Amino acid sequence: MNRLIAINRISDIPAKYRNTPIGRLLEYQNLDRPFKPYSKAQLLIGMCMDSRKLLHIPDNFAFVLRTGGANLRYSEFKVSYAIAVGGVSHIALITHDHCGMVNLPARKDLFIKGLVKKGGWKKKDAEEHFRNFSHLFEIGNETNFVLSEVKRLRLRYPKVKVTPMFYKVHNSQLFLLKE
């Protein structure tokens, strides 16, 4: 994890992020910056749907898209909406440790059994569902995936500042990711 930039004080925030929505996100999450009211979103946060992740941000501060692995490939219309209609010019793309979208084949049996038992599916249908979709949502390594997704989004939205971040589940801290 030598790619992580810890943010423990305001001076740890690189100058290019200070006084920006990205800097304020880091301050709210890690430094307990007092909340101020917002009338409109300042940024879009793309993050995993994992229930262990909780952001400490004020109301109306951000649009938040939660998808498995922070994979925004299939949420691109929503990203475009946040930019075009919501007016955001910053995206924080947040990955985290111990993500369930890493090594999906290892969870295949659990997935199938769970859909049968808890979802009422037939085993054959659950197997087909996994086979048809797991490859679309497998992210491989969390850090490498989010860095590749950041590059993709920067090419797609060249006027938007896209920042890769990492969330540690055990202490709820956000880190910047070195590229």
Length of the chain: 179
Tokens representing 16 are 């290019």
Apex CA 146: angle with CA 51 and CA 12, to 5°? 85
What is the model's pLDDT at position 103? Answer: 85
**Residue 10 to residue 22: CA distance in whole angstroms:** 12
- Per-residue pLDDT 10s for the chain (179 aa) are 589 999 999 999 999 999 999 999 999 999 999 999 999 999 999 998 888 888 999 999 999 999 988 999 989 999 999 999 999 999 999 998 887 888 889 999 999 999 999 999 999 999 999 999 998 888 888 899 999 999 999 999 999 999 999 999 889 999 999 99
Give burial (CB, 10 Å; 0-12/13-18/19+) of 105: exposed
**Residue 152 to residue 134: CA distance in whole angstroms:** 21
Task: Tell the residue number behind the tokens 């659950």, with chain if given.
Answer: 126
Q: Domain map of the chain by residue range? A: 4-101+141-177, 103-138
| pTM confidence score | 0.92
User: In CATH, what is the architecture of 4-101+141-177?
Assistant: 3-Layer(aba) Sandwich (3.40)
Of the candidates 146, 134, 148, the residue with the CA atom closest to the CA atom of residue 176: 146
